[in-house]
Structure 1
């Protein structure tokens, strides 16, 4: 007699395991039917016919309740037909619906599913059929590791020490963390692609699978997983972690904030998205809302560094849904990782820092006009602190006023104050260097720049076919004035325009920082500049989004006013910024000063005398007129 079990599922991994069973196993005494609810054109009548011809049903649903008309209809039909079944919800482990299956059998069914994998799923099918009279073999639950280190040939190692015996690569060690379920399912396309590219780039990658949360039976928390596999030598061994899992590590109790701080390792988020590659490429927002929540917003809570897309959800008839590697994003992420590692390893005396001062409107009077921050004094103290900690900083001014005087004697964005001497002293980017970079841009970006700003290198801040770089050097620290993103009759609209690209000069300044000065790290001082507001995708930027063209893979530190969370998030998402919060300054009424204070006093005395009808207000009026001249306010007075 042949017994049959029907799998009804909306969970891709269960569908994939069932498909593998069809291909790998043959048993004349049992059969497996499959209904995949995520496929198109699934009709209730088709599912009902499948139910009519089976002995028992395993129904697994990715939701937490009977949340669709189809799922409700299937459940109603099974109940009416009184076919033995088990209905398990992925998002609610305690909510189980069943008929004809005992409590102890439910526990065993959950044990098979908890361990996962094709072999355990095959054993589960055998076990459920045995409840209906099947007398063939029943494979016991096979325990699989909850966490481990994966070798490139599929080996699993219980420790880094064991792994190194077979994989002892040179170069800085980079841990790549991905879900255990993906290892169980054999969905290793993007982890292996990350591994291969990192190895090609001179890094020593280590693939680690696990989960965020701990569970009974040996599943460790994310933090404990690292310490167990690396024998409590994580900080001493690993230079950087690439995390590809969604959600918040802290939120799912994978680590506390103190533990992440104690770990002391940069953590880069590699985005593995439900957004398809085609959707991401065409969407101005970049990621779809679900990915923004799961892959971006929640990891941001942990302070993880925003990286790039490394895999996108793809469907094929043979494999179902899986995450296909995105080579360009993987390369960008590896480049980003290398820059953060290089910053750690480079001797402080050799580190080059590009420090940008915001400048809107582009006048000398507005250089360093960050909200809630005394920018000149902050820069001065930062230069002093850097020098004291071994960085090469020369010629530090005595006061913040001296700093601004030195800066404004060099090239700035204020064309009215741009002297021949300042232009002569300024570094330049030759036209041919810029045009070589420009020629490598995609055609759409080139056309946009040409349409708005003409042929390279344009006419803005150009001297003898070279772009002028605004700023001044203090040893290995270049204090730069961030260039304006353009010029128009409505500068406010231009500043946040989603369409108008920055000028050739803007792109040239950042190109000079990256390739000529070769900055190891950028600092955008205070809230806020314009890099993160340039045109491009809202999230998960492409190579040709303008903020990405500017910053590329340079580590970007951004002191940001803690009260402006929304705009700070834009800086994180659109320029890979590490936000360093500063508090609101203490405030009091500023009042007037100098001649203005004296004028106010005379006006108060005039009002007082006039109210008292003392007839002496004309005496004070003379002082008022004299004070008006001292304040240069004559043009406001009527003749």
Structure 2
């Protein structure tokens, strides 16, 4: 649970000036309900729930706390936006400290104006300090916490009815909060097959239902994504992955989960009740929470990767889950009880597809690409699990919907009237079609490769060679790259890979590479260019060049002249055909290649300090 923050936090030096008493003028029938939250998924869920409310229901609003970053923003918001609001739900990630610059201001305002303020945490467990600062009865706080903690559109809708009946003298009627599965198989009604959503039930029955409607002879790709996206309907990017997998002839196995650190639950030995029957169900949250991080237990989501008889279903996994599954301890299991045996048991590639918290426009204009937070969460840390990093497949964007649930009017420029739009706009992940296609293409290739015998697999090893000098081939401080490569060859041969003509030593390997053809212009001869292992006809290169955008072609031409340029171009012995030479060695089904230089004829320091240099 969230640790309570004690009241020794300094009070703000100045609170917003008292405002006229608006509450006396506010009829309960016109009173607004406001949700303040750090989580975009909370607001998106509110957005979805608001579309299902009766037309004469109280106005519903939602605001992300990140839009109130300073005390001045909070003061302006209080004075200009809260006059019509009677019920305020503050869901703060980090408790009072998570909204420290505005918490006391909001509490004072609510007490001055007789507003119904409900303060709850955004994590497990109630926070006594937040409860103490709320202005409604404790049972109301507890129920609102359960509605939001259990999550989902229906729970959000019932919470709004509950608040209207208890605090706004309504008579709508409401249902009690319903606990939602913590893990499960998701299946939308896709544009390709119009298959209905799979029922989220026990792990075994969900897997059996999935197996009943899929052809196991096709490549199968599992997709891991956060449960919060399933609960809030923020699944456009997952639906796009599913559609592309099916369009490419594969099966999609989409699995939602709270976290990959939540492990398979231990069966509950207590007597069952109607609300807690099937204690072995991984979706039972109390069991799952109690068994988090148990030693050597696989993530609960991984249960859905196996048939009831224990056979692994997918050929490849695409993960959109951030961070690593566990900490890093080279001496054995991590402090959380997880070790690499969990992934060894799967023995399939795991691709990391990046769902960026940036907007697409921001990413396109940023020379560094992803912001540091995205790099840490979705690149650097997942690499510790051995995940294969791909590309951003989605970015955050606004989503405004009509009351019928459709996304606005569907026009490039919205023509909806104000009353057609919800008062709540949600941030959702907007898929990027070409990036979706690229990731699925990569996944499908891995899936095919998994079923190919090792002796038929062709492997390329790219040795570092910056800045293209022969004495820097395979350069790595403190490491013997060629000797390591020879040991790897021996291990691969033992696994059935076809590798031929292996040099006797690491030095012999380097000499063969240099003698055959390198990128070192001070040593390179026409004879070596003619014997280059890789040869690309200039006509083929011209076709690749034509696929570049006009701006890319212009930059290439300005820096390197007309294609194919001058470097590593060789005319064959008959003088009939030009080729671009690519350095390397063929060794059966293995090709050892050298890293091509980024450019030629330039000072290496200038190259290093020119990140936008066209290659």
Q: What is the match of residue 182 of structure 2?
A: 146
* Selected match of 1:196 from 243, 246, 270: 243
Contact 1:173 1:237 in 2 (8 A): yes
Contact 2:181 2:200 in 1 (8 A): no
Q: Are positions 1:307 and 2:390 aligned together?
A: yes
1:536-555 matched pairs, under 5 angstroms: none
Contact 2:468 2:597 in 1 (8 A): yes
Q: Could you list the runs of 5+ residues in structure 1 that have no partner in the other structure?
A: 503-639
What SS does the corresponding residue of 1:178 show, helix, strand or coil? strand
Q: Deviations over 1:600-622 (max 9, x none)?
A: xxxxxxxxxxxxxxxxxxxxxxx
Q: What is the match of residue 477 of structure 1?
A: 590
Q: What is the match of residue 23 of structure 1?
A: 51
Q: Deviations over 1:388-413 (max 9, x none)?
A: 33221222233344434433331222
Q: What is the match of residue 118 of structure 1?
A: 153
Q: What is the match of residue 33 of structure 2?
A: 6
* Selected match of 1:454 from 537, 555, 561: 561
Quickly say closer, same or farther: Cα 1:499–1:81, change in 2 above 3 A.
closer
Contact 1:357 1:368 in 2 (8 A): yes
Q: What is the match of residue 182 of structure 1?
A: 229
Contact 1:35 1:47 in 2 (8 A): no
Distance 1:368 1:256 in 2: 31
Q: State the structure with bigger RCO (CA 8 A, min sep 6), 1 or 2.
A: 2
Q: 1:208 Cα shift?
A: 1.0
* Selected match of 1:77 from 109, 124, 144: 109
Q: Are positions 1:330 and 2:433 aligned together?
A: no
What SS does the corresponding residue of 2:569 show, helix, strand or coil? coil
Please say which of residues 447-456 and 120-129 is displaced more in the overlay: 120-129
Identify the structure with the greater helix proportion: 1
What SS does the corresponding residue of 1:205 show, helix, strand or coil? strand
Contact 2:352 2:387 in 1 (8 A): yes
Distance 2:219 2:336 in 1: 28
Distance 2:614 2:172 in 1: 69
Distance 1:347 1:326 in 2: 34
1:426-441 matched pairs, under 5 angstroms: 426-427=532-533, 428-441=535-548
Quickly say closer, same or farther: Cα 1:361–1:147, change in 2 above 3 A.
closer
Q: 1:489 Cα shift?
A: 5.2
Q: 1:174 Cα shift?
A: 0.9
Quickly say closer, same or farther: Cα 1:280–1:253, change in 2 above 3 A.
farther
Contact 1:146 1:180 in 2 (8 A): yes
Please, what TM-score do these two structures have when normalized by structure 1? 0.70
* Selected match of 1:412 from 505, 511, 518: 518
Q: 1:218 Cα shift?
A: 5.2
Q: What is the match of residue 461 of structure 2?
A: 355
Q: Deviations over 1:439-495 (max 9, x none)?
A: 101223222221221111111121112112222222122223333322335224424
Quickly say closer, same or farther: Cα 1:210–1:452, change in 2 above 3 A.
same
Q: Return the index of the structure with the highest Cα Rg.
A: 1
* Selected match of 2:600 from 482, 487, 504: 487
Q: 1:327 Cα shift?
A: 0.7
Q: Are positions 1:36 and 2:63 aligned together?
A: yes
Q: How many residues align?
A: 498
Q: Are positions 1:268 and 2:375 aligned together?
A: no
Distance 2:228 2:370 in 1: 23
Distance 2:365 2:508 in 1: 49
Contact 2:225 2:320 in 1 (8 A): yes
Distance 1:430 1:33 in 2: 64
Distance 2:570 2:551 in 1: 28
Q: What is the match of residue 95 of structure 2?
A: 64
Distance 1:269 1:460 in 2: 36
Please, what TM-score do these two structures have when normalized by structure 2? 0.73
Distance 1:400 1:48 in 2: 73
